Amino acid sequence: MASWTLTACGDDNDDGGDSGGKTKLSVFSWWTGGGEEAGLKAMVADFEKKNAKIKFVNDAIAGGAGDKAKAVLASRLQAKQPPDTFQGHAGAELLDYVKAKQIEDITFLYEQEGWKEVFPETLLPLLTMDNKIYSVPVNIHRANVLWHNSQVLDEAGVSAPPKTLDEFLDALDKVKSKGKIGLSIGEEWTQQHLLETVLLGKLGADGYSALFKKGGDWGGSDVTAALEVWKELLGFTNSDAASLTWQDATKLLSDGQAGFNVMGDWADSYLSGDLKRKPETDYGWAAAPDTDGTYQFLSDSFTLPVGAKHRDAAIAWLKECGSKSGQDAFNPKKGSIPARNDADPALYGPYLKWALEEWKKDKIVGSLSHGAVASLAWTTEIGTALGLFLQSKNVGKFQDALGEAAEKHAV
Ligand code: GAL
């Protein structure tokens, strides 16, 4: 468990009670790694300026996309030992916690802080059930981004990032023929992340979104085509994928061992921040193939768990999360655009300036791997089917399993 605090004070060994006149606030997330922790630290610094009597305690569990954190969180919630506040994705994932009565209605904060006016209309419904709002979004991430190493592409004679999946396969062939990895990838969730961008590419925004509604057709030939292309893409990836984190996979691209990587835009923060690569020079980006004009989004939000020990301190944290200064501290470092409508674009680097523009004009769809469109149970079942596919390589069986999962979980 990662643990850093920015205020050295009081007794760290108690179970989260008051210490040295300060209230300890345990904040649960999975932001421990490259490109992730920096954003959190920046927001904590801003928070502590405003809240001298609260001591931030980092209760994060490492693991991209929260794959390990969510399991730990589930058992803590089950045992009624919640952190004071935890990270949850806007959308179906958040509503899981609402249905289980594990988080509180915080509509009062929206009224108090005037947030209904500053958060986008596309986002609020994903935080709302029965007219009550349940969390505070800190950001908007984009899932469907194709990253490339400029030099590797130059050497392979690929003059521009591929716009379509067919062009992508051609470009991968060219990179491979130079003895490089075409597409770097990591552990299973990153392969699922790739899959959701391919489903979007093949089915289009409306077709993709329909998959996650009741009666969505997972048995169609368009889904088969998407699975076939995805399988082909996996043929251009590194053989040690299973043991690599998303950062490891991004680093293969950064180091010039791979030409392409498909990852959410937290990769920009890792590349330009931790790895010190120059955007638009060392690396570049484009919409994932065949998805230009659609923003496949996800949003990280923070909650007020039922039974939080330090409820007032948690509310202070939620106010920070929703504030302009908090979002402007967090997002430029996190590689996301702010959830608020009133961000200052001057604070953002070249990638995020692009993302801010795209967000305004694109069609919006939700990400599968990051909680927007499917419940945790559904996403987990898709993950299990994907794991079996990786052994059998049987597209037909995989598609059947996806259909069964949808029938069971779509609401
Ligand atoms: C997502 C999360 C992002 C980023 C990413 C990689 O699920 O929303 O903020 O942390 O995982 O870990």
Task: Please tell me the residue having the least CA distance from ligand 1 atom 2.
Answer: 65
Cα separation of 237 and 388, whole Å? 18
SS3 of 248, please?
Answer: helix
Predicted confidence pLDDT, tens digits, the chain (411 residues): 444 544 333 333 344 445 678 999 999 999 998 989 999 999 999 999 999 999 999 999 999 999 999 999 999 999 999 999 999 999 999 999 999 999 999 999 999 999 999 999 889 999 999 999 999 999 999 999 999 999 999 999 999 999 999 999 999 999 999 999 999 999 999 999 999 999 999 999 999 999 999 999 999 999 999 999 999 999 999 999 999 999 999 999 999 999 999 999 999 999 999 999 999 999 999 999 999 999 999 999 999 999 999 999 999 999 999 999 999 999 999 999 999 999 888 999 999 999 999 999 999 999 999 999 999 999 999 999 999 999 999 999 999 999 999 999 999
The runs of H, that is alpha helices, within 335-394 are 350-361, 376-392
Determine whether the shortest distance from the Cβ of 370 to ligand 1 is under 6 A.
Answer: yes
Task: Please tell me the residue having the least CA distance from ligand 1 atom 11.
Answer: 65
Q: Residue 42 to residues 49, 66, 299, 325: CA-CA distances in angstroms?
A: 11, 20, 18, 10
Cα separation of 203 and 211, whole Å? 9
SS3 of 235, please?
Answer: coil
Q: Is 307 left (phi over 0), alpha (psi -120 to 50) or beta?
A: left
Determine whether the shortest distance from the Cβ of 36 to ligand 1 is under 6 A.
Answer: yes
Q: Decide if 198 contacts 233 (C-beta within 8 A).
A: yes
Tell me what pLDDT residue 19 has: 66
Taken in order 377, 378, 383, 384, is the CA torsion positive or negative? Answer: positive
Cα separation of 99 and 47, whole Å? 30
Tell me what pLDDT residue 2 has: 42
Determine whether the shortest distance from the Cβ of 93 to ligand 1 is under 6 A.
Answer: no
All structural domains of the chain, each given as residue ranges with its CATH number in brackets, are 5-139+301-359 (3.40.190.10), 142-296+367-409 (3.40.190.10)
Cα separation of 128 and 337, whole Å? 21
Cα separation of 369 and 142, whole Å? 12
Going by C-alpha positions, the residue among 399, 194, 397, 386 that lies closest to residue 289 is: 194
Tell me what pLDDT residue 33 has: 86
This prediction's pTM: 0.95
State both tokens at 343. Answer: 């961000």
Q: To test ligand 1's pocket by mutation, which of 31, 32, 36, 192 has the most ligand atoms within 8 angstroms of CB?
A: 36
Q: Measured in angstroms, how far is the CA atom of residue 140 from the centroid of ligand 1?
A: 11
Pairing of strands 337-338, 139-142: antiparallel
Determine whether the shortest distance from the Cβ of 211 to ligand 1 is under 6 A.
Answer: no
